[in-house]
Amino acid sequence: MFDILLPEQSEFPLYQQLYLQLREGIRNGAIPDGQRLPSVRSLQLQLNISKTPIETAYQMLTAEGYVISKPRSGLYVMNPYKEFSYSQQHQQPPSMTTMPVIRSHAHTNPNVIDFNPTRLDQAAFPVRIWNKMLKEALDHHLCEIGGYGDPQGEYALRRVVSEYLRNSRGVNSTPDQIVIGAGTAYSIGLLSRMLKGMKHVAVEEPGYSLVRDQFQLNGCEILPISLGDKGISLDRLEQSHAELVYVTPSHQFPTGSIMPYPERERLLEWANAKHAYIIEDDYDGEFRYQGKPIASLQGLDDKGRVIYAGTFSKVLTPALRMNYLVLPQALQHQLTQMQQEVFFAPSRVEQWAMTAFFEQGHWFRHIRKVRNLYKKRHHRLIELIEAHLGKYVEITGQNAGLHLQLLVKKEATSEELIQEAAKAGVKVYDLRKTWINQRQDAGQYPRIYLGFASLNASEMETGIRLLQKAWNMN
């Protein structure tokens, strides 16, 4: 058997603490493959807590495949990492009370501090509520389960998304302008076909490589436009022969720069004069930590030149492949000409669940919860960087989003910094793939990117201290 001791004080709810301890025990072999887990009743007595958090933790472990249920017998561990378990390495398993809790996906070394800029805190996902929404979706829409649904997306979901965007981001739309998509790659592919006469596409340099790759796959010529402190260089854009431009004005990926209001107006003027379109990707517009949000480009556009793009992934989970577009009214008619092979919506069941998630207020409560969580982690990471890396780095892009950009003031390349960090057990990133025409750190200090959403305060402090030592910044 094994012992579990929950801390008296924690930033996480009981079910989350229990889930994380059990999961890490399974992953590192402290709880061996085939081990029977304590019954809910016995664990309830041991920990002196109600059965609800225990049942929830067990449900999460079952859903992720860490345990299986055997009828009339109980729950048993299925350890996908048993070949690396402590018992097979002839090592003493760690105590469950001292074991570090490192949130990571299934293919990440649990002993590495991973500052992944794209990962969320999976324990913040409202698993019980989402399960409830899925069940209600099936119960309430059973009579519709035999049909494929609207390829543009369920009307009820488009309606609540339109209302949400109007109130939160100042986006002007009707449900008929909303297109529910199965991820960014799908939506960009769809736009490439809708705008097939526009083959010259300007993109931010550096910028989101997935979008760039999708346009190239659809036969477009990519025109990389350099960035300044205020986002994409409008001087260079105006000198180009672009007919379409993709931008992330509210939090440029990956630098974190924010396009001010005058530049937004100038970009709209360019699009109007050129009869061009702007794709505004507001991928993490919900996460702003300083100052007031600037109105969306789409909300400033009165000529129908902006295609607005957003996603549920950054707030809820990347595992939910669901996003949305807001089309100008002039492009709506083209949807009827799309072939069904390239125009289809995500799972209807998940769309119904997401609709209920909005209508019952869970989306707004969840945003408040994760915004507060990530704001605390954002501020704490900045404090740690300033305390331990100090004069050796410069932080930029810190007003919004889920990652920071560090300008590291050392005579080294970003690859060398990444390698030294890896030797110390820390994973950091240079997002080199976001560049097209030049080396990411050519002729200047290297840039390193640190995500903070998936790490708690203790993990971040450990990681920053290890970086301080690895990069000789004492």
Residue 84's pLDDT band (boundaries 50, 70, 90)?
very low
pLDDT band at 292 (very low <50, low <70, confident <90, very high): low
Same domain, 304 and 372: no
- Per-residue pLDDT, 106: 39
**Position 113 in a domain:** no
Q: Is residue 7 part of a domain?
A: no
196 residue type, one letter: K
Give the residue among 451, 457, 455 at the shortest CA–CA distance from 387.
457
pLDDT of 12: 72
Domain end (from 49, 82, 101): 101
What are the contacts of 208-215 at 24+ separation with CB within 8 A? 208/246, 208/248, 208/253, 208/281, 208/434, 209/433, 209/434, 210/184, 210/185, 211/184, 211/246, 211/279, 211/281, 212/246, 212/436, 214/184, 214/185, 214/188, 214/189, 215/188, 215/246
Let me know: does 131 contact 55? Beta carbons within 8 Å: no
pLDDT given at position 83 = 42
Domain of 380, CATH number, reads 3.90.1150.10
In a domain, 56, yes or no: yes
Query: What is the C-alpha separation between 231 and 326, in angstroms, rounded?
Result: 22
Question: Could you tell me if 331 and 394 lie in one domain?
Answer: no
**What is the SS3 assignment for 74?**
strand
Domain boundary among 309, 335, 360: 360
Note whether 346 and 426 are same-domain residues.
Answer: no
* 393 plus 336 within the same structural domain: no
Give the E-state strand segments of 214-337 in sequence order.
221-228, 231-232, 244-247, 277-281, 306-311, 323-326
Q: Which phi-psi region, left, alpha or beta, contains residue 148 (left: φ > 0; alpha: ψ -120 to 50)? A: alpha
- Are 40 and 149 within one domain? no
pLDDT bin (cut points 50, 70, 90) of residue 31 is confident
Position 350 scores a pLDDT of 95
Query: Between residues 224 and 108, which one has the greater pLDDT?
Result: 224
pLDDT computed for residue 284 by the predictor: 82
Classify residue 301: in a domain, yes or no: yes
Work out the pLDDT band at 107, boundaries 50, 70, 90: very low
Q: Quick check: is 1 in a domain?
A: no
Residue 119 lies in a domain: no
For residue 28, give the CATH number of its domain: 1.10.10.10
> Is 3 inside a domain boundary?
no
Q: Is residue 348 located within the same domain as residue 394? A: no
Task: Please tell me the predicted confidence (pLDDT) of residue 433.
Answer: 87
160 in any annotated domain: yes
383 with 332, same domain? no
pLDDT digits (tens, 9 = 90+) for 367-393: 999 999 999 999 999 999 999 999 999
Mean pLDDT for the stretch of residues 417-424: 95
Four-residue CA torsion sign, 260, 264, 270, 271: positive
Residues 174, 254 within the same domain: yes
Phi/psi-derived region of residue 72, left when phi > 0, alpha when psi is between -120 and 50, beta in every other case: left
pLDDT attached to residue 269? 97
Of the ranges 100-114, 295-309, 397-411, the best mean pLDDT one: 295-309
Q: What is the mean pLDDT of residues 341-362?
A: 92
Q: Flag whether pLDDT at 401 surpasses 60.
A: yes
Mean pLDDT to the nearest integer, 154-170: 95
pLDDT given at position 95: 37
| Residue 85 to residue 342: CA distance in whole angstroms | 45
Domain boundary among 301, 336, 360: 360
Residues 220 and 347 reside in one and the same domain: yes
pLDDT of the residue at 291: 64
Report how far residue 454's alpha carbon sits from residue 117's, in angstroms, rounded to the nearest whole number. 9
Q: Does pLDDT of 341 surpass 80? A: no
Mean pLDDT computed over 324-336: 92
Say what the pLDDT of residue 85 is: 40
Average pLDDT, the chain: 86
- Dist CA 372 CA 409 (whole Å): 31
Between vectors from CA 105 to CA 101 and to CA 108, what angle results, nearest 5°?
A: 85
Crossing angle (nearest 10°) for helices 51-63 and 40-47: 130
Q: How confident is the model at residue 79 (pLDDT cuts 50, 70, 90)?
A: low
- Domains identified in the chain, total number: 3
- Is the same domain home to 135 and 64? no
* pLDDT score of 142 more than 60: yes
Q: Which of 44-53, 374-383, 389-398 has the highest mean pLDDT?
A: 374-383
Owning domain of residue 43: 14-101
Residue 8 has pLDDT above 80, yes or no: no
406 pLDDT band, cuts 50/70/90, is very high
398 in the same domain as 333: no
From the number of C-beta atoms within 10 Å of its C-beta (0-12, 13-18, 19+), residue 391 rates as exposed
CB atoms within 10 A of CB 341: 6
Within this chain, do residues 200 and 278 fall inside the same structural domain, yes or no? Answer: yes
**pLDDT tens track for 257-282:** 889 989 999 999 999 999 999 999 99
Interval 448-466: pLDDT, tens: 999 999 999 999 999 999 9
Q: What is the pLDDT of residue 99?
A: 32
Average pLDDT value for residue range 187-203: 92
